[in-house]
């Protein structure tokens, strides 16, 4: 049964037992009435896909999934990426024992808090820059699903910025300027800036990829401003001009009115559409334990524009 009732500014949508409560009219919703630890019906998966097409980020509170349950849930939305773990992250450490799962924690293999100079801790500092997961891949990720086990007392929020609103609020001149341009996205752009010392093999694991700066989301049909901190060049511009423009566009995307900050509670699962939002983690005290893990589905849609 589908029903909608007014709740503040936005409608609460009920489908069967599932309740989708918008935080904003078309951005961020809380989803309740499901147990993500158990296999879900096809109708539940459809309801989640419909909700994420509209809201871009779904928050599922009170879902303390284990690794296998998180993997099983993610697989319902398409093939899971294993390339990141096998090509790069496994060289840092393998703690969770599944190539489909990325370790977004500051925990070392012995179970203790990783030292701030441990590559595991340094690498996750890169997540503090606005990005989509794997914008630098020929087949970037569609959905990412992040589950929190241990959270910090202060900081450590994950922020989401709406790329659809960012496009809609561009001024006309900037819209014209970027209309037919492409950006070169490079996997190690922020890592190099951060001074992370990656090997030549790591640097060539993902050859740079070129994407249009404006894309149309294949389901919502909304236009999105497709720029993140992996952009190191923009077509038709000198390298400095392109990097300055990318920086300006990211500042526009990250304006407070486009941003929602999620403060984590253990057992939260947050799922986002990498085609519609940027995200970043916020700074926290690295001597505190922060334990999260992520699975991501691979985007096989050809309608996002051509990568070369």
Scan for tokens 């296998």, then name that residue: 68
Strand partners, 182: 212
Residue 120 is a binding residue for ligand OGA (CB under 6 A):
no
For ligand OGA, the binding residues in 267-306 under the rule CB under 6 A are 279, 281, 292, 294
What strands, in cross-sheet order, belong to the sheet with 158-162?
259-262, 158-162, 277-281
CB nearer to ligand OGA: pick between 144 and 297: 144
Residue closest to ligand OGA when measured from CB atoms: 281
Rounded to a whole number of angstroms, the minimum distance from the CB of residue 179 to ligand OGA is 29
Residue 137 is a binding residue for ligand OGA (CB under 6 A):
no
Count of C-beta atoms within a 10 Å radius of residue 72: 17
Residue 249 is a binding residue for ligand OGA (CB under 6 A):
no
Count Cβ atoms within 10 A of the Cβ of residue 169 and give its class: 0-12 exposed, 13-18 middle, 19 or more buried: middle
Find which of Mn ion, ligand OGA, none residue 281 binds, CB within 5 to 8 Å per kind: ligand OGA
Residue 57 is a binding residue for ligand OGA (CB under 6 A):
no
CB nearer to Mn ion: pick between 82 and 235: 82
| # of chain residues touching ligand OGA (CB under 6 A) | 10
Cβ atoms 190, 230 nearer than 8 A: yes
Select the span of 2-10, 33-41, 127-135, 255-263 touching Mn ion (CB under 5 A): 127-135
What pairing do the DSSP bridges indicate for beta strands 269-273 and 141-150? antiparallel
Please select the residue that binds ligand OGA; options are 21, 54, 106, 127, rule is CB under 6 A.
Answer: 127
d(CA 140, CA 133): 7
Nearest by Cα to 228 from 297, 308, 143, 133: 133
Residue 133 is a binding residue for Mn ion (CB under 5 A):
yes
Angle in degrees, CA 164, 271, 155, rounded to 5: 90
For ligand OGA, the binding residues in 155-214 under the rule CB under 6 A are 158
CB nearer to Mn ion: pick between 146 and 234: 146
Given the rule CB under 5 A, which residues bind Mn ion? 133
């Amino acid at each position: 049964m589908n029903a909608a009732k007014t709740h503040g500014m936005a409608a609460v949508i009920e489908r069967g037992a599932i309740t989708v409560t918008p935080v904003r009219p078309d951005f961020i919703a809380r989803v309740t009435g499901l147990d993500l630890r158990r296999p879900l019906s096809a109708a539940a998966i459809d309801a989640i896909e419909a909700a994420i097409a509209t809201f871009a980020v779904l928050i599922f509170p009170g879902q303390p999934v284990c690794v296998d349950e998180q993997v099983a849930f993610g697989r319902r939305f398409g093939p899971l990426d294993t390339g990141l773990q096998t090509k790069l992250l496994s060289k840092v450490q393998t703690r969770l024992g599944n190539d489909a799962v990325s370790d977004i924690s500051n925990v070392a293999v012995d179970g203790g808090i990783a030292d701030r100079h441990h590559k595991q801790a340094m690498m996750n500092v890169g997540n503090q820059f606005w990005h989509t997961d794997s914008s630098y891949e020929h087949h970037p990720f569609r959905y990412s699903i992040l589950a929190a086990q241990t959270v910090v007392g202060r900081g450590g929020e994950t922020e989401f910025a709406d790329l659809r609103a960012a496009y809609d609020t561009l001024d006309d001149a900037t819209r014209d300027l970027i209309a037919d341009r492409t950006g070169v996205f490079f996997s190690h752009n922020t890592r190099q800036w951060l001074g992370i010392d990656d090997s030549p093999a790591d640097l060539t694991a993902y050859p740079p990829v070129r994407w249009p700066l404006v894309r149309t989301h294949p389901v919502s049909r909304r236009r999105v401003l497709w720029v993140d901190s992996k952009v190191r060049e923009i077509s038709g511009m000198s390298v400095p001009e392109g990097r300055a423009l990318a920086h300006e566009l990211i500042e526009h995307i990250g304006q407070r009115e486009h941003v929602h900050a999620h403060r984590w509670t253990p057992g939260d699962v947050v799922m986002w559409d990498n085609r519609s939002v940027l995200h970043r983690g916020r700074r926290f005290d690295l001597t505190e334990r922060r334990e999260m893990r992520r699975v991501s589905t691979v985007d096989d849609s050809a309608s996002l524009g051509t990568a070369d």
